[in-house]
Structure 1
Amino acid sequence: MLNVNLRNWSLLPCLSLVLLFGCADDRGAASEDASGSGTETAGDGDGDQDTQTTGDGDGDGDGDGDGDPGDGDGDGDGDGDGDGDPEFAVGFDVRNVDPSQAQLGSVYLGGFGAPFVGGPATGIHDSVFARSMAVGIGDEGVIFTVVDAIGMGNQWTRAIRSQAANLTGLAEDRIIIATTHSHSGPDFQGLWGGVGDSYRSKVTIETVGSMLAAWETRQPAELSVSNSTAANRNRRDWPMTDDTVFVLQAHRKSDAALLGTMMSFAAHPVIIGSDNTELSRDYCGYAVDTLEASTGAPVVFFNGILGDVSPDVPEGMYADDFARAEAYGSYVAAQAELMLADAVPVEPILVHDHAQWELPVDNALFNLAGQLGILDYDFIQNGLASSVITQSTYVRLGTQAQIVAFPGESLTRCGLPIKDAMAAPYKAVLGNAGDALGYFVPSDEWMTGLNDDYEEGVSLGETVGDTSRDAIIEMIEADLGW
């Protein structure tokens, strides 16, 4: 396996590589990110598909590694009768991950232009964060964490999951780490200049700390879920996008106080343009801030099926791009709030599954980047060819909600079939989650001239969209017996 690391990036031939890594926003093409198998659900950690529905989780099916799937009732006697009703336990945590003034000079923004050309960030317009939501039943559960950044190389995500697993006692595949994909966020992929070691260490420590704090502060809670919609647009001229705003809320069981909210919505955070040199969360941050101000509790925002989806900013006169981002983020938050009164209770059932698969890296420029050692990714190198191991996590909450992590930016026609495979009325595909491997294009859309084939140029290859879609659908279909 080749360790591909930013700190070796001193080779000017790589400039041509990243000139193609642009994110096509409202202004046209600008730059973008690039980059086996086993399944499990919340239960005993033995790789089969279990369902965790217990309150105390101290019996069979509890993840104690004895290989006994048990009956899942948590009382240890195998009779399935349990000792009390199961209940969710939920925790939230928010950690600031701003660079210090000393670290700022080593932080490059991700998403626009060639590496190093724009220089390091000149300031912090609005703070960046790691935000976590932990959901469990008994001793088992999952952690959802998202960081305000363009993406994360798999060297980052493996280190974070490993440390969090050691501290929480959860299996690594129960820890989901994603990025909002803000193009004014720090570059944790190494595509545009990356970040220095000191800041890298800070982000890793704070992100792991957020995961641990969310897990350790879980409280008995009731979950509810709702959907709304918000306007976005397809930049490859398809007449559809995933315009759903998915909202999951947790209320403390003892007094119904709101513990926090998870929301997911699909649109590229590219409202703040390529001339910006200050760190910002783009519209995602304004959506979070608006909803937090309204609800008085933490909000964890995930992007969705965003590969070919751009924001649709409300008409108006705006002073600058930040004002435009604020208008759109506030609008998305308001749309999320519309349906909260009609939220549906979620049964205390937690099902988890995980899959890994290998993808070929057919993109010649990505192969070159791997051989030159310029990215924060590990590729498997086989002569002049390479491949990468990627993954997805599946979570079902009751019979009401299904959630999957997608390892990059799925185009609409790749991601919507995944949602169609779900049977629950509320569903979410979390983009750039578990991995950030660029665009995933369905093969029947490959090189058909849409958007000047921009997304194809920042994709691992023609087959990766179909392969990843099918692997995720296979997990979903394994859980359709409920």
Structure 2
Amino acid sequence: MKIGYAQNTITPSLDKPVYLAGFGNNRRATAVHDDLYARALAIQTEQITLVLVALDLIGFFRPDVYEVIEKVNRPDAQIVIASTHTHHGPDTMGLWGPDQKTRGVDEEYMRGVKQKIADVILASLSTLEPTSVKWASVRVPGLIKNARTPEIMDDELTLLQFTTADGRPLTTMMNYPCHPEVLWDMNPNITSDYVHYLREEAEKRTGAPCIFFAGALGGMMTPDVKDHSFEEAEFMGKKLAGEGVKALRAVDSDPLSVNSQTADGERQTMDGNAVGGQWSAVSITKKVISAKLTNILYKLAFRRKLLPDVRDKNGCIATEVNLIKIGGLWLAAVPGELLPKLGLQLKAWMKEAGAQVAGVIGLANDELGYILPLEDFKYPWNPFKPGKHYEETNSIGKDITPKVMGALRELIR
């Protein structure tokens, strides 16, 4: 196995208005607290070339993803592009302009971002070097809450690390199910929120770059903080990074908890609990799905030309799910913000099918909003005053849930 890594800043210039996405309209950025990034991790075996890309953006629609893939022009490479879902970056979707009737996307910025993402993917593919891999997971309680259904909680940090033959870290991946919104709607600074501090701390502790992916962060899964400050974001990010690095180091120090990779790459199984491990099989399988859009607010956004209308003649939107396997770590990549009940179900299915550690990558190769359990989906009679059913007004509709879960169930089996 070989890996390559590259990153580039995608922070917008403040020479013209930048409308921050994720809360209300007319949130104009006044400063840059920390840079936003496109980060790419390329993984290559004799059978496959896979590139996982993380963007510090609110979301990236599927047509934009495939425009980038076309620019890359590497038919041999399987590419997944996911957004961290920061609520303090530029509007890349269209809903957060100066008012509710004006699109907030800077098309010139978008053109530049797409080229930068393509460039960073190609750069990651040009820096491939031999590696070993290990994975782990650890619960990190006390940092987040489920604001919609408090009794359903997923606080698992999913981890992957690539190392040299002598154990020196090359790249670390962290995956956690929480909105990057420690800072709140009054924040005028561009920032990747707690993700910035997580990556910075992980890189300080390992001496290697860190790439972060959002998990099943619907619900919504939000930071449980006393105040919406950079100090709280720093505490959360550093706590997650510290627990993650400690869990990865435990894979090396506890032989009863791992599967180890021999020098020739053969899997060697040891007894013990499966909290982490090492071997090198990599695969990705994709299933294209189509789901009907019924949300009247999205239909209104289409009429106002805030969002690109990609419905077919039947009112359906084509999207995709992916199942990624890297050794004993399995990742379900979903095209939106999965609620934690569904995320936990996917993890259970993957573990039943043979995964040692399982995770969910949200907002992967698309962003279709919230994906809710059918039994919990109740569209409010007045979507402008949704009350406890806000998530339904930011979902394409009920049809997306069985399509996503059914397709992934087939791939996992």
TM-score range, shorter chain: 0.7 to 0.9
Residue 211 of structure 1 pairs with residue 211 of structure 2:
no
Q: Is the 8 A contact 2:290 2:403 kept in 1?
A: no
Larger of the two Rg values belongs to structure: 1
Residue deviations 1:76-97 (CA, integer Å, cap 9, x gap): xxxxxxxxxxxx1111111111
2:35 to 113, 123, 127: 127
Q: Is the 8 A contact 2:133 2:278 kept in 1?
A: yes
Distance change in 2, residues 1:121/1:312 (3 Å): closer
2:361 to 410, 415, 430: 430
In structure 2, the residue matched to 1:59 is: none
Query: TM-score w.r.t. structure 1 length?
Result: 0.74
2:130 to 217, 220, 226: 220
In structure 2, the residue matched to 1:170 is: 76
CA distance in 2, matches of 1:139, 1:381: 35
2:294 to 343, 347, 362: 362
In structure 2, the residue matched to 1:192 is: 96
In structure 2, the residue matched to 1:136 is: 44
In structure 2, the residue matched to 1:112 is: 23
CA distance in 2, matches of 1:326, 1:94: 22
Distance change in 2, residues 1:459/1:210 (3 Å): same
2:112 to 202, 227, 236: 202
The alpha carbon displacement at 1:352 in A equals: 1.6
1:325 to 222, 227, 233: 233
In structure 2, the residue matched to 1:396 is: 325
The alpha carbon displacement at 1:107 in A equals: 2.3
Residue deviations 1:270-315 (CA, integer Å, cap 9, x gap): 1111111221101111111111111111100001010014344466
Q: Is the 8 A contact 1:150 1:185 kept in 2?
A: yes
1:415 to 302, 324, 343: 343
Other structure's SS at 2:81 match: strand
In structure 2, the residue matched to 1:295 is: 206
The alpha carbon displacement at 1:346 in A equals: 2.7
Distance change in 2, residues 1:338/1:311 (3 Å): farther
Residue 154 of structure 1 pairs with residue 62 of structure 2:
yes
The alpha carbon displacement at 1:132 in A equals: 1.1
Other structure's SS at 1:233 match: strand
Q: Is the 8 A contact 1:409 1:440 kept in 2?
A: yes
Superposed counterparts of 1:330-479, under 5 Å: 330-343=238-251, 344-375=276-307, 377-382=308-313, 386-398=315-327, 400-422=328-350, 423-447=354-378, 452-477=388-413
The alpha carbon displacement at 1:448 in A equals: 8.8
CA distance in 2, matches of 1:241, 1:160: 35
Other structure's SS at 2:401 match: helix
Aligned letter for 2:2?
A
Residue 269 of structure 1 pairs with residue 180 of structure 2:
yes
The alpha carbon displacement at 1:333 in A equals: 1.1
The alpha carbon displacement at 1:136 in A equals: 1.2
Q: Is the 8 A contact 1:346 1:397 kept in 2?
A: no
The alpha carbon displacement at 1:381 in A equals: 4.4
Residue 230 of structure 1 pairs with residue 140 of structure 2:
yes
CA distance in 2, matches of 1:264, 1:233: 16
Q: Is the 8 A contact 2:61 2:365 kept in 1?
A: no
CA distance in 2, matches of 1:146, 1:90: 16
Worse-matched range after superposition: 132-141 or 184-193: 132-141
Aligned letter for 2:4?
G
Q: Is the 8 A contact 1:415 1:469 kept in 2?
A: no
Larger relative CO (CA 8 A, sep 6+): 1 or 2? 1
The alpha carbon displacement at 1:200 in A equals: 1.4
CA distance in 2, matches of 1:135, 1:408: 24
The alpha carbon displacement at 1:237 in A equals: 2.5
Q: Runs of at least 4 residues of structure 1 off by over 6 A?
A: 448-451
Superposed counterparts of 1:88-99, under 5 Å: 88-99=1-12
The alpha carbon displacement at 1:101 in A equals: 4.1
Q: Is the 8 A contact 1:261 1:297 kept in 2?
A: yes
User: Which consecutive residues of structure 1, in runs of 5 or more, have no partner in the other structure?
Assistant: 1-87, 478-482
Worse-matched range after superposition: 463-472 or 342-351: 342-351
In structure 2, the residue matched to 1:3 is: none
User: Which consecutive residues of structure 2, in runs of 5 or more, have no partner in the other structure?
Assistant: 98-103, 252-275, 381-385
CA distance in 2, matches of 1:465, 1:261: 31
Aligned letter for 2:360?
V
CA distance in 1, matches of 2:295, 2:379: 17
Query: TM-score w.r.t. structure 2 length?
Result: 0.85
Other structure's SS at 1:190 match: coil
Worse-matched range after superposition: 261-270 or 198-207: 198-207
Other structure's SS at 2:63 match: helix
Other structure's SS at 1:339 match: helix
Q: Is the 8 A contact 2:321 2:335 kept in 1?
A: yes
CA distance in 2, matches of 1:273, 1:148: 16
CA distance in 2, matches of 1:345, 1:453: 40
In structure 2, the residue matched to 1:179 is: 83
Q: What's the RMSD between the two structures over aligned residues?
A: 2.0
